[in-house]
């Protein structure tokens, strides 16, 4: 049974005897393996070092938009011209269902290369013919095939993270919503009580719009799961950039991003469980977030 979580008080239920532990890991693993690829951008676990296995689903929030603090995605000017081009190509792939699915499988070690034909077919359906043909002439299909593989994805994660400045912690929030098992919630509560940091261990997309994030929590929480909203302040996140128009304002945390759990409470308005995170420098004690 899930310990009671007080509404917006900051107080936490007591941890289980022994503090943070791995009890409930098997149900969590079952939950992670059942997450559908493509339900949100960015659920991308690696299967080998330096990124431990993990998984992800969506985005967080409150219906009261006036309570949202303006968010600040990190500027992409910190990248070189070639890195920016590669990042845009990566985001273009990530923004498609086919590409998101392929990236997940590559990072899990279940696929070696991108199905660029599938990604291009989806882009052609989604975008204006003139825009698509113009992009096609740049040779993006070849760029995708060269870039989106295990080594390429690790390189992108590395230069995004290494280019970040830890002293420039955002003054605003970004948001992420998802469904989580009660075992996962208990684990987070224990980690918070034991001051154990968490890490993303994959590319983690967040929304700058609380309402968008909340809709993900509502849509993707399965029966028996809690609707969870992450509210995050960070410094390594970077605004998503694509070679084609991108509808939603999103920001992306790279693998390696590490966070302190600042607060866990239940929203009186939405009844969602709110988990507030603040990014910190790498910590050897950090464990992958339970998704």
Percentage of the chain modeled with pLDDT above 90? 56
In this structure, the number of other CB atoms found within 10 A of the CB of residue 151 comes to: 8
Rounded mean pLDDT, 185-212: 92
User: How far is the C-alpha of 254 from the C-alpha of 156, rounded, in Å?
Assistant: 8
Closest CA to 108 of 47, 192, 186: 47
Q: What is the pLDDT of residues 170-191, one digit of tens each?
A: 888 999 999 999 999 999 999 9
Q: What is the pLDDT of residues 68-122, one digit of tens each?
A: 333 344 444 688 999 999 999 999 999 899 998 898 889 888 899 999 999 999 9
Residue 248 CA: distances (Å) to CA of 59, 241, 245, 273? 12, 11, 9, 24
Q: For residue 291, is pLDDT > 70?
A: no
What local confidence, expressed as pLDDT, does residue 140 receive? Answer: 94
Contact (CB, 8 A) for 61 and 71: no
What local confidence, expressed as pLDDT, does residue 113 receive? Answer: 93
What local confidence, expressed as pLDDT, does residue 148 receive? Answer: 95
Contact (CB, 8 A) for 248 and 95: no
- Residue 111 tokens read as 């696929």
pLDDT mean across residues, the chain: 77
In this structure, the number of other CB atoms found within 10 A of the CB of residue 103 comes to: 26
Task: Compare 3 and 26 and report the one with higher pLDDT.
Answer: 3
Q: Helix, strand or coil for residue 289?
A: coil
Residue 249's pLDDT band (boundaries 50, 70, 90)? confident
What local confidence, expressed as pLDDT, does residue 61 receive? Answer: 27
Rounded mean pLDDT, 223-227: 93
Q: For residue 11, is pLDDT > 80?
A: no
Percentage of the chain modeled with pLDDT above 70? 72
Q: Any idea which residue has 């590409």 for tokens?
A: 99
Q: For residue 40, is pLDDT > 80?
A: no
Please state the pTM of the whole predicted model: 0.72
* Helix (H) / strand (E) containing 175: strand 174-180
Q: What is the pLDDT of residues 52-82, one digit of tens each?
A: 333 332 222 222 333 333 334 444 468 899 9
The stretches of 127-177 forming alpha helices (DSSP H) are 129-136, 140-147, 150-162
Q: Helix, strand or coil for residue 200?
A: coil
Closest CA to 61 of 204, 228, 240: 228
Q: For residue 32, is pLDDT > 50?
A: no
Residue 24's pLDDT band (boundaries 50, 70, 90)? very low
């Amino acid at each position: 049974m899930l310990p009671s979580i007080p509404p917006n008080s900051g107080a936490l239920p007591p941890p289980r005897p022994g503090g943070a532990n791995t009890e409930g890991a098997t149900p969590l693993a079952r939950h992670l393996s059942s997450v559908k690829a493509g339900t949100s951008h960015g659920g991308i676990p690696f299967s080998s070092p330096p990124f431990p296995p993990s998984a992800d689903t969506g985005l967080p929030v409150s219906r009261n938009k006036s309570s949202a603090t303006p968010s600040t995605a990190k500027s992409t000017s910190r990248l070189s011209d070639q890195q920016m081009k590669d990042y845009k190509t990566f985001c273009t792939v990530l923004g498609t269902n086919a590409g998101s699915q392929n990236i997940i499988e590559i990072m899990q070690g279940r696929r070696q290369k991108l199905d660029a034909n599938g990604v291009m077919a989806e882009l052609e359906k989604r975008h204006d013919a003139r825009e698509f043909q113009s992009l096609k002439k740049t040779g993006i299909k070849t760029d995708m095939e060269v870039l989106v593989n295990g080594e390429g994805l690790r390189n992108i994660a590395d230069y995004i993270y290494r280019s970040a400045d830890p002293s420039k912690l955002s003054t605003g929030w970004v948001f992420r919503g998802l469904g989580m098992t009660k075992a996962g919630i208990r684990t987070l509560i224990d980690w918070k009580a034991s001051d154990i940091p968490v890490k993303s261990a994959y590319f983690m997309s967040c929304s700058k719009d609380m309402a968008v994030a909340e809709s993900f929590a509502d849509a993707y929480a399965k029966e028996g799961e809690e609707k969870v909203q992450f509210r995050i302040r960070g410094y390594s996140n970077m605004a998503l950039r694509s070679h084609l128009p991108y509808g939603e304002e999103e920001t992306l945390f790279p693998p390696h991003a590490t966070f302190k759990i600042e607060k866990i409470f239940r929203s009186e308005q939405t009844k969602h469980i709110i988990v507030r995170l603040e990014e910190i420098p790498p910590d050897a004690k950090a464990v992958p977030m339970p998704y």
